[in-house]
Amino acid sequence: MYYDEHCPPHFHVIYNEYEAQIEIETLGTLKGELPTRVLGLVLEWAELYRDDLLKNWILMKTTKNFNKIPPLV
């Protein structure tokens, strides 16, 4: 996530030469692409932490701070 991003709430994923933006509420891909296996893992992680991701989006927009979320492993 970046401080000055546009709506809808989303996060960025970078994997090797691939990049994508994933909408938090729908978990749909807004832009870019990822390999199928990687996208599946990212979506599984995002589903687990969707509330935390949305809270961070709000925090970053209002305070430019965020709370750590466990990484994708």
C-alpha radius of gyration, the chain, whole number: 12
Q: Specify if 73 maps to a domain.
A: no
Q: Specify if 72 maps to a domain.
A: no
User: Can you say whether residue 11 is alpha, beta or left, with left for phi > 0 and alpha for psi between -120 and 50 degrees?
Assistant: beta
Q: Specify if 29 maps to a domain.
A: yes
| CB atoms closer than 10 angstroms to residue 64 | 9
- Residue-by-residue pLDDT tens, the chain, 73 positions: 776 788 899 999 999 999 999 999 999 999 999 999 999 999 999 999 999 999 999 998 888 888 999 988 7
Q: Specify if 16 maps to a domain.
A: yes
Q: Specify if 31 maps to a domain.
A: yes
Full residue range of the structural domain in which residue 22 is found: 10-63
Is the pTM of the predicted complex or chain greater than 0.75?
A: yes
66 is written with which tokens? 């965020």
Q: Specify if 56 maps to a domain.
A: yes
Number of domains in the chain: 1
Contact 25, 15 (CB under 8 A): no
CA 33 centroid distance within chain: 13
**Nearest Cα residue to 42 out of 67, 65, 69, 61:** 69
